[in-house]
Amino acid sequence: MGEARRALVTGTSTGIGRAIALELTRQGFDLAVTELDPESLGELLKHPDLRGRNIIPIRLDLREQASIEHAFDRALDGLGEI
């Protein structure tokens, strides 16, 4: 097996962020997936393409520095280096 591949993707409940998250998991990535309201990630987290991957849902408000720092800390804690 190769080196672990990990990424943090923002705005993953819909649209481009969701599409990116799904494609990265298809490519073998483990992910930190973020959204302002993590409850809205429920459908994404049930997607079959995420099975077998380490997925860390995280609340992220890009308008708040503390939220950004917390999101990166959670991603690093859950996935290791990203």
Kindly state whether residue 51 falls inside one of the protein's structural domains: yes
Q: Which domain holds residue 18?
A: 6-79
Give domain status of residue 19, yes or no. yes
pLDDT score, position 1:
52
First to last CA, the chain: 18
Write out pLDDT tens, residues 23-69: 999 999 999 999 999 999 999 999 999 999 999 999 999 999 999 99
Number of domains in the chain: 1
- What's the pLDDT score for residue 2? 63
Q: Is residue 1 a part of any domain in this protein?
A: no
**The pTM is what?**
0.91
Compute the distance between CA of residue 72 and CA of residue 1 in angstroms, rounded to an integer.
26
Per-residue pLDDT band for 75 (boundaries 50, 70, 90) equals: very high
Question: For the domain that residue 37 is a member of, what is the CATH number?
Answer: 3.40.50.720
